[in-house]
């Protein structure tokens, strides 16, 4: 079955196009848009890890290594499409227009971090595994029933394919030809559980067969193949033909979260075959005459300034209301929770 779903790629590890037909589709603007956004989210990601280590953010889920998958797919969306992220897809949501200050606030435990900018259909990050998949199907189905041309993309890891929500979402979307793209980022592990313990299938893409939808396996570290195949999947969805399952094979260089130690279950050799997606794009731009050293410096300075300003704004935000931990959870607060609230407020008053 693995032979039936080969990993599709557009450029090799040295940044040369494998298929010359893509030369007509790639231009200076696309290459620079991809590069800029990948630099931006990587800088955001590294800053967040540093902030967590300093005690200025809560536990954080890094994504370095998966920038091509997140940026390439997010740039392929239309302005009125829906995006349903996991807790690791803030690179995709930032690319799609999420507010950076609020994104940092989310990782600081603030409910304001779940509020998207006006006009942006960005669902709050899903921490429970795979629960966002049926939500995405529902939103896309609603768009279809309203007669719009909008669709939805939902992100998930390989571990989500072991959840019932994954299968229910794909089945419903297939039956009703819902305009949704199922975007799997397969980095080989669900926390410490390797994919061979997750499933007996050779690929995730082949699971599309059971639901009668197209499935494709792509190089998740090649930003071009991610962009073009996601765009193609949305064109298919908008034409009324239904969903597509994309498996982007990638590698996360760091830990599952800042509370995790991947050296306990992963080896350096496992990630050696994956070329840094940002370095790969940089090689491509040099090979084909798109590279500008002065522009690169401007991009890095611009993103660093934006991120430093976002951190300052996040830390200057008014303190959270402690009662938010308890209020608006139940229609009528249970006595036990009311006691906990009062005990907590007494503790705060005593500080």
Which residues are known catalytic residues? 252, 256, 265
- Structure tokens, 13: 């590890």
Q: How big is the CA angle at 69 (ends 174 and 150), to the nearest 5 degrees?
A: 45
List, in order, residues 6 or more apart from 56 with CB less than 8 Å away.
108, 311, 315
Coil, strand or helix at 11: strand
Give the HSE-up count for residue 39: Cα atoms under 13 Å, Cβ half-sphere: 21
Give, as one character, the DSSP assignment of residue 308.
H
Beta bridge partner(s), residue 184: 156, 247
Pair 67, 278: CB distance under 8 Å: yes
Beta bridge partner(s), residue 183: 155, 246
Pair 88, 63: CB distance under 8 Å: yes
| Rg of the chain taking only CA atoms, in angstroms | 21
Q: What's phi and psi for 268, nearest 5 deg?
A: -65, -30
Q: In which residue are the tokens 């893409």 written?
A: 205
Separation of alpha carbons 115 and 125, rounded Å = 10
Q: Where are the alpha helices (DSSP H) in 188-276?
A: 195-198, 223-238, 268-271
Helix (H) or strand (E) segment spanning residue 244: strand 244-249
Q: What's phi and psi for 87, nearest 5 deg?
A: -75, -5
Give, as one character, the DSSP assignment of residue 329.
S
């Amino acid at each position: 079955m693995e032979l039936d779903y080969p990993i599709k790629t557009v450029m090799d590890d040295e940044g040369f196009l494998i298929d010359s037909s893509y030369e007509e589709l790639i231009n200076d603007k696309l290459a620079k848009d991809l590069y800029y956004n990948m630099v931006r989210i990587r800088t955001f990601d590294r800053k967040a890890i540093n902030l967590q280590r300093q005690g200025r953010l809560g536990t954080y889920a890094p994504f370095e290594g998966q920038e091509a998958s997140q940026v390439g797919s997010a740039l392929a969306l239309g302005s009125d499409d829906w995006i349903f992220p996991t807790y690791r897809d803030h690179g995709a949501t930032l690319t799609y227009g999420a507010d950076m200050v609020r994104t940092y606030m989310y990782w600081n435990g603030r409910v304001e971090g779940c509020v998207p900018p006006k006009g942006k259909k960005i669902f709050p990050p899903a921490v429970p595994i795979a629960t966002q998949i049926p939500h995405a199907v529902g939103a896309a189905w609603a768009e279809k029933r309203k007669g719009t041309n909008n669709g939805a993309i939902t992100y998930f890891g390989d571990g989500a394919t072991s959840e019932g929500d994954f299968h229910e979402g794909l089945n419903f979307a297939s039956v009703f030809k819902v305009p949704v793209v199922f975007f799997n980022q397969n980095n080989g592990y669900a926390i410490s559980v390797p994919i061979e313990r997750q499933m007996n299938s050779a690929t995730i893409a082949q699971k599309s067969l059971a639901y009668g939808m197209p499935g494709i396996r792509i190089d998740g570290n090649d930003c071009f193949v991610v962009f073009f195949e996601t765009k193609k999947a949305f064109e298919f969805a908008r034409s009324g033909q239904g969903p597509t399952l994309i498996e982007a094979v990638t590698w996360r260089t760091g830990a599952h979260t800042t509370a995790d130690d991947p050296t306990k279950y992963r080896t350096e050799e496992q990630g050696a075959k994956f070329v840094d997606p940002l370095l790969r794009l940089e090689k491509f731009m040099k090979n084909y005459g798109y590279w500008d050293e002065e522009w690169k410096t401007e991009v890095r300075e611009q993103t660093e300034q934006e991120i430093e300003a976002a951190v300052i704004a996040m830390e200057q935000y008014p303190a959270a209301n402690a009662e938010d931990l308890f209020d608006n959870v139940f229609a009528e607060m249970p006595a036990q929770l009311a006691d906990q609230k009062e005990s907590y407020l007494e503790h705060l008053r005593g500080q």
